[in-house]
Amino acid sequence: MCVLVKSLSEYIDAVNEFRKNSELSKTILFRGQSNADWSIQSSLERAGVLNILFEEYYKTIDCYKPEFNAYGKNFKRNVKFPNGYNFDFSDYNPISYNQFPEIEYLTYLRHHGFPSPLIDFTQSEYIALFFACENAINVNKANTNGKIFALNSNLIDAFSCGYKEFHRIGHYVDTDPRHIAQQSEYLIACCFSSDKWMFVPFDLEQNLRDSSVKGNSVLEIEVVASAKMELLQELNKMNINHFTLYRDEDSLVKKMKFDFLQKQRRLG
């Protein structure tokens, strides 16, 4: 189901109606995207890496740790020569029970733009709305309708019952401050084949076709492009803005840019 909204009240009404129809679900996760035509993909998928073995990915990112550590981080190397990565990726059980190695490092990479298998969601419908609208401050680029996806946890559990598995990484991860500010959770799509774990595409549409959960399991809310600046203004009143969610110097400048554009609109 997809709902078109152009105001905060319409958005809240749509979310509340979905919550009412999903009352048996433990949790609803939200994801906001600035272009309504985009499907849900990991940044690995967007980089063109559709399938990659866990062992290959983990060995590669392990090599980058010394450079991050030079800037004050303390990531421990896990590649042990000549035996390879210090984890048995041919063992089905640990990953199947959500015991991913180095999840803190994976979330750090995700929040700083490195191609990652983690697909970030948020517990907050308001933060998801911000992400769906944030591109509106790019005045030199064409604005597009945004979209918020809402998934209930019953659907996520059903996704994990087939050949492809979906693992949910909860909020309590010791990692980048952005993770806390954005109330982040993550989904990881993977499969175990030929005694090896592999990251695979998310593919929501195919998962819905294969899922045993029907009815009100997913809501898509499309945000009209012309309403984005006003919605960002409403969210800013709640202290939801670039700086509070990203918490760095660049995001502070973006927050100031938004304030400046709002002032010019009022003066104009």
Q: How confident is the model over 68-72, as a mean pLDDT?
A: 94
Residue 224 per-residue DSSP state: P
What is the C-alpha radius of gyration for the chain, rounded to an integer number of angstroms?
A: 20
**pLDDT value at 9 more than 70:** yes
- The residue-averaged pLDDT of 125-134 equals 97
Q: How confident is the model at residue 268 (pLDDT cuts 50, 70, 90)?
A: low
Question: What per-residue confidence (pLDDT) applies to 211?
Answer: 58
Does position 173 have pLDDT exceeding 80, yes or no? Answer: no
In this structure, how many other beta carbons lie within 10 angstroms of the beta carbon of residue 216? 19
Q: Retrieve residue 15's tokens.
A: 């979310």
Distance between CA atoms of 35 and 146, rounded to whole angstroms?
A: 5
Q: Are strands 164-169 and 184-193 parallel, antiparallel or unpaired?
A: antiparallel
Residue 218 backbone phi and psi in degrees, to 5: -140, 140
Q: Which residue has the higher pLDDT, 11 or 168?
A: 11
Cβ-contact 185, 170 below 8 angstroms: yes
Per-residue pLDDT, 180 = 85
**What confidence tens digit (pLDDT) does each residue in 205-248 have?**
776 666 555 556 889 999 999 999 999 999 999 999 999 998 78
pLDDT at 160 over 70: no
* pLDDT at position 129 over 90: yes
Is the Cβ–Cβ distance between 40 and 31 less than 8 Å? yes
Higher pLDDT, 132 or 107: 132
Residue 170 CB coordination number (10 Å): 12
| Burial label, 16 (beta-carbon count in 10 A; 0-12, 13-18, 19+) | exposed
pLDDT at 2 over 70: yes
Residue keyed to tokens 């990991």: 42
Between CA 74 and CA 31 the distance in angstroms is 30
Q: Is residue 139 scored above 80 in pLDDT?
A: no
- Note the pTM of the prediction, 2 decimals: 0.86
| Cα distances (angstroms) measured from residue 227 to each of 67, 125, 130, 147, 237 | 42, 17, 12, 12, 16
Give me the mean pLDDT over the 131-155 stretch: 87
Residues 84-107: what's their mean pLDDT?
85
Six token digits for residue 144: 């597009």
pLDDT tens, residue by residue, 183-206: 999 999 999 988 999 999 998 777
Phi-psi region of 39 (alpha: psi -120 to 50; beta: other; left: phi over 0): beta
Which residues touch 54 (CB under 8 Å, ≥6 apart)? 89, 95, 190, 196, 197, 198, 199
Q: What pLDDT is attached to residue 146?
A: 97
Residue 158: predicted pLDDT: 61
Task: Output the average pLDDT for the chain.
Answer: 87
pLDDT at res. 210: 62
| Res 250 pLDDT > 60 | yes
What is the maximum alpha-carbon separation in the chain?
67
**pLDDT on residue 261:** 83
Q: How confident is the model at residue 168 (pLDDT cuts 50, 70, 90)?
A: confident
Decide: 173 and 239 in contact? Cβ < 8 Å. no
Strands 52-53, 196-199: pairing kind: antiparallel
Q: How many CA atoms lie within 13 A of 4 on its CB side?
A: 4
**Are the CB atoms for 41 and 201 separated by under 8 Å?**
yes
Spatial distance between the Cα atoms of 224 and 238, rounded to a whole number of angstroms: 21
Is the model more confident about 119 or about 179?
119
